[in-house]
Amino acid sequence: MPAPAAPPRAFSGSRLGWADLPRDVRDRIRTLAGADVISETSATNGFSPGYAALVGLGDGTQVFVKAVSPDQNPQSPELARAEVIAAQHLPAGVPAPRLLWAHDDGHWVVLGLEAVEGRAPRIPWQPDELALALQALERLADVHGPGPGTLPDLGPVVARTAGGWARLTDDGATVDRSGRAVGEHGAWMVENLDRFTDWAGSAPAACVGSNLVHGDMRADNLILSPGPGRRLWMIDWPHAATGGAPWYDLLTMLPSVAMQRGGDPQEIFWRHAASRGADPDAVRSVLCAVTGYLVHESTLPPPPGVANLRPFQLAQARAALGWLRAVSPALRGPA
């Protein structure tokens, strides 16, 4: 039997280097950093097609620099602006690199973040590294969000996510294509689209709580420090929100964990401390919304500069459908 295909890589497929940045942007980074840039190590994970690199400075320090403009992707500057706001309001104790400086000229947005040593978890997931990630999520589940008006409320964010099934069913040809694309669960999915639309509609209320949520938790948004007493950093916070259930980040991460051969998402979810006291119907509603979002997004053309995103979303969609099917035994459909 052939070995299973490797999970798709979480990388944009295109990323700017230092020499690709306009001269005035390079000058601005030097000024903000307070020293000349003498080296760069480009990030090898993440979907941003802009500049993202650990840079060495002439004064012997390092800083992680991001620089994006609409020329690479129209959404990238808005995400960078959201990341600046999130970094300014994350509660103390959240394991995120500190924002050192930022500048926005209306076209280019540049950020300088604390340099942290380490690497992303190995894929396929290794049990010890997954355990560290799950422990970090347990600690995050105890963090309440900052005050009102600082970060978006999770409910409206999930309401947009929850519309995936409805958007998918607006085009019958897209439904047929997506059913074939998701593989063994495709016929079952198509047969139950109306039920999924109903379940997903309950997701915004089902995920309400008082917690801070990262909103985009995956292996490529984690950094494991080396050596004994390893620390785990959570990076890339542009989707941060408040008012979420303590289990939200755990649930939304697990389709990627399953896709990256980390284990059964249903089993991992219910043995995790963050799921304690969770209502199974609420969990199913949010899972259904996340699944519909992934399925629908995987049918769209790739965003500019991010050619690898749709295959990554499709692989997560397949894993999410398998989980959704496992918690929906009463739904009929072809085997």
Please give the DSSP secondary-structure letter assigned to residue 245. Answer: -
Judge whether residue 332 has pLDDT over 70: no
Mean pLDDT of 22-43: 97
Judge whether residue 3 has pLDDT over 60: no
The CATH number of the domain covering residues in 18-114: 3.30.200.20
Judge whether residue 204 has pLDDT over 70: yes
Confidence class for position 1, pLDDT limits 50, 70, 90 = very low
Which pLDDT belongs to residue 227?
80
Cα(172)–Cα(16) distance, rounded to whole angstroms?
A: 39
Note whether 160 and 259 are within 8 A (CB): no
Which pLDDT belongs to residue 335?
47
Interval 115-173: pLDDT, tens: 999 999 999 999 999 999 999 999 999 999 887 789 999 999 999 999 999 999 887 77
Burial of residue 262 (CB within 10 Å: 0-12, 13-18, 19+) is: buried
Q: Would you say the CATH fold of 127-326 matches that of 18-114? A: no
Q: Where are the domains of the chain?
A: 18-114, 127-326
Confidence class for position 2, pLDDT limits 50, 70, 90 = very low
Q: What is the pTM of this model?
A: 0.94
Which pLDDT belongs to residue 147?
78
Note whether 85 and 109 are within 8 A (CB): no
Structure-model confidence comparison of residues 226 and 213, the more confident one: 213
Which pLDDT belongs to residue 333?
65
Interval 286-302: pLDDT, tens: 999 999 999 999 999 99
SS3 293: helix
Q: Which helix (H) or strand (E) holds 265?
A: helix 265-271
Cα(134)–Cα(116) distance, rounded to whole angstroms?
A: 20
Neighbours of 86 (CB within 10 A): 25
Closest by CA to 239, choosing from 256, 214, 203, is 214
Cα(310)–Cα(257) distance, rounded to whole angstroms?
A: 17
Confidence class for position 309, pLDDT limits 50, 70, 90 = very high
Fold designation for 127-326: Aminoglycoside 3'-phosphotransferase; Chain: A, domain 2 (3.90.1200)
Cα(303)–Cα(11) distance, rounded to whole angstroms?
A: 13
C-alpha distances (whole Å) from 335 to each of 169, 176, 184, 192, 332 are 22, 17, 8, 13, 9
Interval 40-93: pLDDT, tens: 999 988 888 999 999 999 999 999 999 999 999 999 999 999 999 999 999 988
Cα(43)–Cα(288) distance, rounded to whole angstroms?
A: 32
- Report phi then psi at 125, rounded to 5: -55, 135
